[in-house]
Structure 1
Amino acid sequence: MSHNTTSIPYSILELASVGAGSSIEQTFKDSLDLAQKAEDMGYTRFWLAEHHNMVSIASSATSVLIGHIAGGTKKIRVGSGGIMLPNHSPLIVSEQFGTLGSLYPNRIDLGLGRAPGTDQVTAHAIRSDRMQAVYKFPEEISEIQQYFSAENAKSQVRAAVAEGVDVPIYVLGSSTDSAHVAAEKGLPYAFASHFAPAQLFEALNIYYNKFQPSKYLDKPYTIACINVIAADTDEEAENISTTLIKMMLGVMTGNIDYMQPPVKMNSELRDLAANPAFQRMLKYAFIGSKETVKEQTSKFLKETGVNEVMVASHIFDHNDRLKSYKIFSEIMKTL
């Protein structure tokens, strides 16, 4: 499953992470600044995740933030990575993204997942019948496709703002279940290998082998997400990565806090990073200088054969984050 990595699109997954001592308002300003600069760096998409009840992540009203980013940029595609569909009514999602698609023609993507993006108590508060909706995920995707179709004008229930609007749907996943859905529906598939790498290859194989061409897509299209922290030297990148290590420790222990400033790498944090649980989650965290990250990224692209790579970067300092994305864009232009 390998290919030449020439001209592979590269994109950004943004969580709008809130740093200690910062504000949500500043976080949104930084997200827009990143999107504007990413546009100039040649990034293809800028997707925003959906998370709830987390002080460290401000992308909870995902569709609102997509509109903000799209309104402040000119050509980069902006979308959801993703909308957690069981949290929402398919009709409302169609109305929101139909509106976005009309405001920003040919620039909006609708990535759909079925995880809650939060804890179970909060998930119940979002939508009490959520678990029923989880099992109806394929059917609810079909409902959205129907609302977006011009033919739906004859239906009793309509999302008039969505009818005939071009907003491509992507199926998101972190396990093999979603691969079956994407393949059977003939839709592009984006895998969350930046935090759930274990089933990446199995999921890709299922998707490629079971893919059914559709009116939306004639052949498989895959996106895989990785973590990248790039800096001038391996040592500098390693120090910056202490923010990510502390964040992952919070996730694994259920003690989620604001994104913490980096510290000089020490033996305690290095031992944490070497822990098997960390290694399993951060298998595809590429941390280092341009040369180091280039080697890791090239290997990943050759091994997976994905059509596009998406990058998440949990970096405390905004300028460090901009620099990391700039280095990665330079890497991708040489592969």
Structure 2
Amino acid sequence: METTTKKVAYSILELAIVAKGITIDQTLKNSIGLAQKAEDMGYRRLWLAEHHNMAHVASVATPILIGLIAANTQTIRVGSGGIMLPNHAPLIVAEQFGTLGRLYPNRIDLGLGRAPGTDQLTAQAIRRDRMQSVHNFGGEIAQIQQYFSKDNEWAQVRAVVAEGVDVPLYILGSSLDSAHLAAKMGLPYAFASHFATGLLLEALDIYRKEFQPSAYLDKPYTMAGVNVIAADTDEEAERNFTSVIRMFLGILTGKREPLQPPMEMTDELMMIQHNPAVRDMLKYSFVGRKEAVAKQLDKFLKDTGVDELMVVSNLHGHEDRIHSYQILSEIIKERNASV
């Protein structure tokens, strides 16, 4: 386990969450507005997550949204967190992100995951042979690397638009398998600890111990997802957090609905929050006023030693969400200035 204190980068994982009473059209516009604000706040990157067949998630056409947000910002890196590779042919992924990389040089990231990002029935509708791809995840990542290589110009199958384009690859995961693979391939590693918490520390340890320097990266680079619900008072933050509790309950029960408005914390919600399954998924959720969140984050960073935080703030109100990200930005800037 890493326990050193160091400066940390901070970024946003955006799912384009559809809130009750808000249209999908407005949700997508809000994602653009968030990216513009995040750029001003000093966030390093904003990644879009691929999900399907979920009433509360609008980030389904991930490359299109990446291009839209990159076109409406200037400096923030934009990418996928991630593209669920078994849903797609590696050639198409290379062509899409090669195009993005040419349109927005040195600003596009390609995070790759192995999970379907949906239920199994929908996954089958997306790509019927996806299980073959699941078992060849590392091989398909290597294919994408080859398509981006200048050396591929003599190959029979080419992604011409991608050749020689600088689009960094990241391996995403929530298991130990992904840690082994990221280390073996010498790629940066992002762990989905904003919902999969149990193996975080073990996965980071494996990745660091097994890391093999590559042409892409000379030393380990780690990222971890956290939920942050920050507000001016603990009471306001706790109230906003009720939307998140109900969203995670819906995920566990299969109830698909838009993100619900906040409500007063009830005994029933407290019981749900302390249900073992919900509690585990929300373990790395930092809720409260600025000072409270700063203390929780500081412990997390010391315990994990990650290089970058990938922050998720799923609040029902768009302005509340912007304010939460603003508070988080202030916390990290102040922390980085002191180390």
- Normalising by the smaller structure, the TM-score range is over 0.9
Say whether residues 1:293 and 2:293 are aligned partners: yes
Please tell me whether the aligned partners of residues 194 and 282 of structure 1 are also in contact (alpha carbons under 8 angstroms).
yes
Residue 227 of structure 1 aligns to a residue whose secondary structure is: strand
Distance between the aligned counterparts of 2:204 and 2:29, measured in 1? Answer: 36
1:54 counterpart SS class: coil
Which residue number in structure 1 is paired with residue 198 of structure 2?
Answer: 198
Counting only pairs closer than 5 Å after superposition, residues 236-275 of structure 1 correspond to structure 2 as 236-275=236-275
Alpha-carbon distance, 1:189 to partner: 0.1
Residue 166 of structure 2: aligned partner: 166
Report deviation, 1:73.
0.3
In 2: Cα distance, 1:191 partner to 1:329 partner: 21
**Residue in 2 that maps onto 1:48:** 48
How far did 1:5 drift?
3.1
1:232 corresponds in structure 2 to: 232
| 3-state DSSP of counterpart to 1:179 | helix
Distance 1:213 1:221 in 2: 11
Cα offset, 1:81, TM superposition: 0.2
- Matching residue of 1:5: 6
- Distance across 1 between alignment mates of 2:175 and 2:260: 29
Match of 2:202, as an amino acid? Answer: E
Task: State the distance in 1 between where 2:230 and 2:256 align.
Answer: 24
Residue 275 of structure 1: how far off its partner (Å): 1.5
Counterpart CA distance in 1 for 2:106 and 2:4 is 28
Aligned to 1:110, the other structure's residue is in SS state strand
Q: Displacement, 1:133? A: 0.5
Aligned equivalents of 2:135 and 2:207: distance in 1? Answer: 19
Q: How many angstroms does 1:273 deviate by? A: 0.8
User: What amino acid maps onto 1:176 in structure 2?
Assistant: L
The structure 1 segments of at least 4 consecutive aligned residues displaced by more than 2 Å after TM superposition are: none
Q: Aligned partners of 1:191 and 1:333: how far apart in 2?
A: 23
Question: Structure 1 counterpart of 2:181, which letter?
Answer: V
Supply the RMSD in Å over aligned alpha carbons. Answer: 0.6
Once the two structures are superposed, what CA deviation does each residue of 1:101-153 show, in whole Å capped at 9, x if it has no partner?
A: 00000000000000000000000000000011000100000000000000000
- Partners in 1 of 2:276 and 2:126 — Cα distance? 34
Give the 3-state SS of the residue equivalent to 1:325 in structure 2.
helix
Q: How many residues align?
A: 334
Find the residue that maps to 2:145 and give its secondary structure.
helix
- Write the deviation string for residues 52-105 of structure 1: whole angstroms up to 9, x where unpaired: 011110001000000000000000000000000000000000000000000000
1:290 is displaced (CA, Å) by 0.2
The one-letter amino acid paired with 1:196 is A
Encode CA deviations 1:251-292: one digit per residue, 9 max, x unaligned. 010112111100111111112112221111110000000001
Provide the C-alpha distance between the structure 2 equivalents of 1:54 and 1:253, rounded to a whole number of angstroms.
13
Give runs of aligned pairs for residues 91-240 of structure 1, distance below 5 A: 91-240=91-240
Note if contact 1:247-1:260 (Cα within 8 Å) is conserved in structure 2. Answer: yes
1:173 deviates by: 0.2
- Which residue of 1 is the match for residue 14 of structure 2? 14
**Aligned equivalents of 1:333, 1:5: Cα separation in 2:** 12
- Structure 1 CA distance for aligned equivalents of residues 124 and 6 of structure 2: 43
Q: CA offset at residue 3 of structure 1?
A: 1.6
Structure 1 gap segments, 5+ residues each: none
Cα contact 1:114–1:137 (8 A) shared by 2: yes
Distance 2:170 2:38 in 1: 21
CA deviation after TM superposition for structure 1 residue 215, in Å: 0.3
CA distance in 2, matches of 1:293, 1:4: 17
Q: Deviations over 1:167-212 (max 9, x none)?
A: 0000000111100110000000000000001000110011001100
CA distance in 1, matches of 2:221, 2:312: 20
1:85 equivalenced with 2:79 (yes/no): no
Distance 1:313 1:38 in 2: 12
- The SS at the match of 1:235 is helix
SS in 1 for 2:236: helix
User: 1:267 and 1:238 mapped to 2: Cα distance?
Assistant: 13
- Structure 2 residue aligned with 1:325: 325
C-alpha distance in 1 between matches for 2:225 and 2:251: 18
- State whether residues 231 and 324 of structure 1, in contact with CA within 8 Å, keep that contact through their aligned partners in structure 2: yes
Q: What residue identity is the alignment partner of 1:275?
A: N
Q: Aligned to 2:311, what secondary structure does the other structure show?
A: strand
Task: Check whether the contact 1:5–1:298 (CA below 8 A) recurs between aligned residues.
Answer: no
Q: Secondary structure at 1:57's aligned position in 2?
A: coil
- Answer yes or no: is the 8 Å Cα contact 1:273–1:279 preserved in 2: yes
